[in-house]
Structure 1
Amino acid sequence: MSSVSDAAEIFRTVMGRTPEGEWVAPGRVNVIGEHTDHSEGLALPIALPQRVVVAAARRDDRHLVIHSAQMPDDRRTLRLDELEPGDASSHRVGSGADSPGGVDGWAAYVAGVAWALREAGHHLGGVDIVVDGDVPQGAGLSSSAALECATALALRDLFSLAVSRPELVRLAQRAENDFVGVPCGILDQSASLLATAGHALLLDVRSQTSEQIFFDLAAAGLTLLVIDTRTVRALVDGEYAARQQACLRAARQLGLPALRDATLDDVRGLADAELRRRARHVVTENARVAETAAILRGGGGGDVRAIGPLLTASHISLRDDFEVTVPQLDVAAAAAVAAGAYGARMTGGGFGGCVIALVDEDRADQVAVEVRREFARLGFQPPTHFRAVPSPGAHRIG
């Protein structure tokens, strides 16, 4: 994988000219608040230093030409005016390397953003785009949302569109929901576009408002260790959709607009055991987000270590009530806590991907070693790890 700083040079090589600018958007980890956004709930993500970069320049025609540094043989040339959700084979232009098929895979996230902006009434012209980045794909760190958000900012700036960041969040979500066909909420796009360095983003999905909460783990001698289980998380769309539908059904049976309004007493009244489990996760997870935010604001004596048990409780709920973990995630979380982490949980959609662990900085590498040792004992492929640093949201770099 090439460095994100190479995007402009790659653009000059493959497009034969200089890009008009470069835009970056970060991946994210969710500190807490998983699978709550579809129920109008709360979440607390941070942006990562890992990011996607888009180098772009306008064209004189109505074509969208997309090239990926990671998949250089998969260049796409699409008719901008013909982009539509679903089978997009008619969008392609020409033959050979420029027309490998319909808008599928990575290119759909770029094309979907252009489609969503067009559908919202914004005028776009043709664009050449080169994509590069270092957000791991399939690890639950939102590489797809980062790609959408970098593209959205690039198109907004290139064509001087009057679109706010919160509106870009919604358009990027629409691109993923309606064009790509992935039933995501607004968490990932919000983190990528709205997060700021040194802060966690308290996101209220119902009101679509956010609060920047100071998140300085280093001052407390702590770090947030990200353990990538390397269990590639293919988007299990049917499983996600089933859980969303279960939450909607539970809310309807309770006579509520969404599970955001439910209490644990309400949940106990649900006759269906599966609906009770799904709803219980959402209700308790929202409460954990609120409690975590209060601790980070300085409540409970201001000891950041106090969020650790909330992280672990979140993982247990995702494992037992929402049922979106896999053995590697469960082992990583348990092994991290056994090795001295204050708390650990899966982050992202689940079914693979990453675990985060709150650890003392001077114990972080040892915790990672212990997790790796447990993986080896069980015959899992070795995990990797890095430290999550709250980083800036999407912005222009050139």
Structure 2
Amino acid sequence: MRVVDAFRQAYGGEPTGVWHAPGRVNLIGEHTDYNDGFVLPFAVPWGVTAAVSPREDLTVRISSLQAPGEEQVLEDVERAEGWARYPAGVVSILRGAGLPVRGADIVIDGDVPKGAGLSSSAALEVSVGLALNDLYGLDLEPMALAKLCQKAENDFVGMPCGIMDQAASTLSKQGHALFLDCRSLAGRAVPFDLSAYGLQILIINTGVHHELADGQYAKRRQDCENAAKHLGVPSLRDVTDLAAALSRLSGDERARTQHVVTENHRVEAVIGLLRAGAVQEIGALLNASHLSLRDQYQVSCPELDVAVEAAVRGGARGARMTGGGFGGSAIALVADDRVDRVRTTVEQAYAERGWGAPTFLPATPAAGAHRLR
């Protein structure tokens, strides 16, 4: 195993164990998690693998196969820089919660396409968090671990994400999507085997790399909190009469509210269609979700819009941007015999605009975080 070889080379011994945490694709329910709403992600076959050994002192040594020569030796995890802030943040938050976490030697190997909106950061946090949970006998349940990893990203990295990404990484089951209520944190595995219907989810990575920490994500979250305050509800999830709510709001707050409320309904509608075996029909809801994210939430970009429009033109049953937005990936629901046509149509649309070619990944629902050895 590549990560074990790298660990031997870096630290001169065998790692105590190896853990894997997956990235995720969100089928539907975008920007609803931090509004106490509903989401429907599933884990993808790509993720982050961590080879880890505990230490007697408090020092954390961490290196990554994706950043050769950039080992960070941290006697104080607060001094971590760049990508190392994610795993260092997990150590810091676990210690801050009063848990007995000493130091660790860590080597990371990841194959989640960075910036594709597939939650490479959550996979990094969860892989290290699960390792520390096992090595130090913390006995954290998967959701408790997800919440601590989210706290690391919120408080240590400074990215105000919701719980979805970390929960998807810890709780997902192979062949299933995860229906998660982000208020109660109740999660339910929903069978999601598209191959039985001759369908697949095709990820279209635009190649445009977003950095959500630039303030746009935080602004959307603030818009939603302001709208909820004006409406006198704890969060936008609590809006029951959308027309009445919209009549009391204006500008960005009105638009954000319209998206969040309708997106929660779309998640529940998709669940109903999956239960009924009407899988092809979820395509129309994916399309509606994208239009709402583009026009009401304003987190799309030309590359995502073109990918979605071209995919549908090429024969996809439906498509939408996925993840935080401002680049990253779109997903398309495609019949197996239409995949080549969809790919060609999207590639041609990009070429006509002089854009770099997008990449395509078929996404099958994978298992959540687990120990490999």
AA matched with 1:34: E
- Structure 1 residue 381 and structure 2 residue 359: aligned? no
Amino acid across the alignment from 2:274: L
Q: How does 1:122-161 map to 2 (within 5 A)?
A: 122-161=99-138
Counterpart contact for 1:183–1:237, Cα < 8 Å: no
- Opposite residue 350 of structure 1, the aligned amino acid is G
Stretches of structure 1 that go unaligned for 5 or more consecutive residues are 89-102
Of 52, 77, 80, which aligns to 1:83? Answer: 77
- Show the counterpart of 1:286: 264
Contact 2:158 2:213 in 1 (8 A): no
Say yes or no: does 1:184 pair with 2:154.
Answer: no
Counterparts of 1:179 and 1:255 in 2: how far apart (Å)? 30
After superposition, give the CA deviation of every residue in 1:132-168 in whole Å (9 maximum; x if it has no partner).
Answer: 0100111100000000000000000011112111110
Task: Give deviations 1:83-109, integer Å, cap 9, x for gaps.
Answer: 34xxx3xxxxxxxxxxxxxx1211000
Name 2:252's counterpart in structure 1.
Answer: 274
Q: Which amino acid aligns with 1:342?
A: R
- Give 1:1-398 correspondences, 5 Å limit: 5-79=1-75, 82-84=76-78, 88=79, 103-262=80-239, 263-298=241-276, 302-398=277-373
C-alpha contact 2:39 2:164 (8 A) present in aligned 1: yes
Unaligned runs of 5+ in 2: none
SS in 2 for 1:28: strand
Letter of the 1:197 partner, please give it.
Answer: Q
Deviations 1:337-385 (A, max 9, x none): 0111010000000000000000101211220111011000011110000
Q: Name the CA distance, whole Å, in 2 between partners of 1:235 and 1:244.
A: 12
Shift of 1:236: 4.2
Say which SS state the counterpart of residue 3 (structure 2) adopts: helix
Matched letter for residue 110 of structure 2 = G
User: Once the two structures are superposed, what CA deviation does each residue of 1:312-342 show, in whole Å capped at 9, x if it has no partner?
Assistant: 0000000000000010000000000011101
Task: Check whether the contact 2:159–2:213 (CA below 8 A) recurs between aligned residues.
Answer: no
Local SS of the residue matching 1:297 = helix
1:254 touches 1:266 (CA, 8 Å); kept in 2?
Answer: no
Kindly provide the amino acid, as one letter, of the partner of residue 255 in structure 2: R
Separation in 2, partners of 1:316, 1:37: 19
Secondary structure of residue in 1 paired with 2:266: helix
Q: Say whether the 8 Å CA contact 1:182–1:237 is kept in structure 2.
A: no
- Among the aligned pairs, what percent are the same residue? 51
CA offset digits 1:228-253 (Å, max 9, x no partner): 00011122441111111110111111
User: Per the alignment, in what secondary structure is the counterpart of residue 215 of structure 2?
Assistant: helix
Residues of 2 paired with 1:232 and 1:274: CA distance? Answer: 25
Given that 1:236 and 1:351 are in contact with CA atoms closer than 8 Å, whether structure 2 keeps it comes out as: no
In the TM superposition, what whole-angstrom CA distance separates every residue of 1:201-256 from its partner, at most 9, and x where no partner exists?
Answer: 00100111111000010000000000000011122441111111110111111111
1:344 aligned counterpart, secondary structure: strand
Q: CA deviation at 1:271?
A: 3.3
What's the CA shift string for 1:287-311, capped at 9, x where partnerless? 000000111112xxx2201000000
Code of the residue aligned with 1:65 in structure 2: it is R
Paired residues of 1:49 and 1:391 also in contact (CA < 8 A)? yes
Instruction: Give me the whole-angstrom Cα distance separating, in 2, the residues matched to 1:271 and 1:232.
Output: 33
The answer (yes or no) to whether the contact 1:227–1:384 under 8 Å persists in 2 is: yes
Secondary structure at 2:223 match in 1: helix
CA distance in 2, matches of 1:266, 1:115: 44
Q: Which amino acid aligns with 1:165?
A: P
Alignment partners' CA distance in 2, 1:67 and 1:268: 50
Q: Distance in 2 between matches of 1:43 and 1:381?
A: 31
Deviation at 1:270, TM superposition (A): 2.5
**1:96: which partner in 2?**
none
CA distance in 1, matches of 2:297, 2:184: 24
SS at match of 1:185: coil
